[in-house]
A = this chain, B = another copy of it.
């Protein structure tokens, strides 16, 4: 079919195209690079940085919802703790970092986003010894979990692996990323690490088991998730909650399994390595805790909505 567009009709089309082009430019993101708000496309590290040469760096990640940074104190405490363990010093105080995070959100005119703090080993003369760290505050769109995953639950595969320096939120994701294709081939949404005796965590979330109406979650050699921390508080108001070394036979005993993270909230697991968990559908505790989690987040936003005026 021949599409005829006369010169009068083409004007609004050009106008829409122009708006679209202007919008793309308008929407270009800013990052904070060593304290300076900088166009994201300009933020580059020289190849002598120890993150590139030696994978030496830490990060943290949290959400902005309705212009409120969620659980900011918890995330700053963890980020500064990770830096201390790796012997890296962050050149600004936590208060100043908080101020810079809110300044970036304002510069990007954001209501909802993911914020990534990143601290590297810095530009190293000998390619091995850390120097003055580079620190960055990056902003990304949030990758929410599809709604259907909450309705049907996800699958996990397991893998024998203990994360190095597990209490540090380091940038090292070698094993998780290497296994990504294997995970997708199995139709799984996450990989659950164990050390041959005990479960630890998934690549990007913490894990909870429901056994005999009690809740169990690994206590040791894991990254202490901030969502996990809040979930322990919430869940213990309603159930008996145990932070223990969770043995492998809890997989057979579990009536429910779920994982927690900032973007996932409470995500039910219905299958591990091909074995059905419970009835093979999301269980009542996971559903209840997801609702409680959402209430908790809403209450936090209400209580902290003035932080943006820092």
Contacts and interface: CB of A to CB of B under 8 A. Distances in A.
A178 interface: yes
A93 interface: no
B45 A174 contact: no
A43 interface: yes
Given A52-B51, A87-B181, A126 B143 contact: yes
Interface in A21-50: 31, 40-41, 43-47, 49-50
Contact of A55 (B57, B126, B140): B57
Main secondary structure of the interface of A (DSSP, over half): mixed
What number of copies of this chain does the assembly contain?
2
B181 A174 contact: no
Interface stretch (A114-122, A205-213, A279-287): A114-122
A247 interface: no
Nearest to A129: B180
Interface of A: 31, 40-41, 43-47, 49-57, 59, 85-87, 116, 118, 120-121, 126-130, 136, 138, 140, 143, 161, 164-165, 168, 170-175, 177-178, 180-181
Given A174-B86, A178-B86, A59 B51 contact: no
Nearest to A127: B140
A171 B59 contact: no
Given A174-B86, A180-B129, A55 B44 contact: no
Q: Which of A41, A43, A47, A164 has the most CB of B within 10 A?
A: A47
A52 B52 contact: yes
A59 B56 CA distance: 14
A136 B47 contact: yes
